[in-house]
């Protein structure tokens, strides 16, 4: 199995890259999806959140009331850290379980951990072989947020500014996908990336190439 990280700022095109990698055969593990799963009704994390922030952060059906929780943590660093201390270990553990399951299902799997906040986490929580950064200029991202997601320009710039800078992300990149161009140009780069990933030492494709078989 090969484990790589995929990251990029808001409106960078990361989701498009992840979707194409999945079509090509990668196993995608979405950190955002894991973060939602660990706070579903009945989970330890949701119970700890209710204990820390009050029953008011729960909906009548027992699910998380995200706006109510948000009002307690956004702009309040201590509360945000308290929330992160609850959710991050749970996400990390679930991620390990999904990675192990992917390897058990296919020892030759190429597993892509799709994690928007790889850099903001200040460490690589898994033993990634490569860090792939999907990159787009700020003006491109602002335009996408305004035209596709309906944000105001001010809101778009605020969201971008709240994340790590593009230069900081690029500094940790082993591979960069430039998504400033057309969709076709981006997908061409993903195809080249897939060729690189399938040729990593230990993959089935690499072994076949080394032995001269198809």
Q: If 0-12 CB within 10 Å is exposed, 13-18 middle and 19+ buried, where does residue 77 land?
A: exposed
Helix (H, G, I), strand (E, B) or coil at 112: strand
From the annotation, which residues make up the binding site for ATP? 11-16
Q: Which two tokens stand for residue 55?
A: 């029953």
Beta bridge partners of 101: none
Residues 6+ apart with CB under 8 A from 130: 4, 5, 174, 175, 197
Q: How many residues does the chain have?
A: 214
Biggest alpha carbon–alpha carbon distance for the chain: 63
Displacement of CA 205 from its chain's centroid (Å): 26
Binding-site residues sit at 11-16
């Amino acid at each position: 199995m090969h484990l790589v990280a995929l990251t990029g700022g808001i409106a960078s095109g990361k989701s498009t890259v992840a979707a194409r990698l999945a079509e090509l055969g990668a196993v995608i593990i979405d950190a955002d999806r894991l973060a939602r799963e660990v706070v579903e009704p009945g989970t330890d994390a949701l119970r700890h959140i209710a204990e820390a922030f009050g029953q008011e952060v729960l909906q009548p059906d027992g699910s998380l009331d995200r706006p109510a929780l948000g009002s307690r943590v956004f702009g309040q660093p201590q509360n945000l850290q308290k929330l992160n201390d609850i959710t991050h270990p749970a996400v990390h553990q679930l991620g390990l379980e999904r990675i192990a399951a992917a390897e058990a299902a296919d020892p030759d799997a190429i597993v892509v951990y799709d994690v928007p906040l790889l850099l903001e986490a200040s460490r690589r929580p898994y033993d990634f072989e490569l860090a792939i950064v999907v990159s787009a200029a700020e003006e491109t991202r602002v335009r996408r947020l305004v035209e596709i997601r309906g944000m105001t320009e001010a809101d778009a710039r605020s969201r971008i500014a709240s994340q790590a800078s593009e230069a900081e992300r690029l500094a940790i990149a082993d591979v960069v996908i430039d998504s400033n161009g057309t969709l076709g140009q981006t997908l061409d780069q993903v195809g080249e990336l897939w060729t690189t990933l399938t040729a990593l030492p230990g993959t089935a494709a690499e072994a076949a190439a080394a032995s001269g078989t198809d």
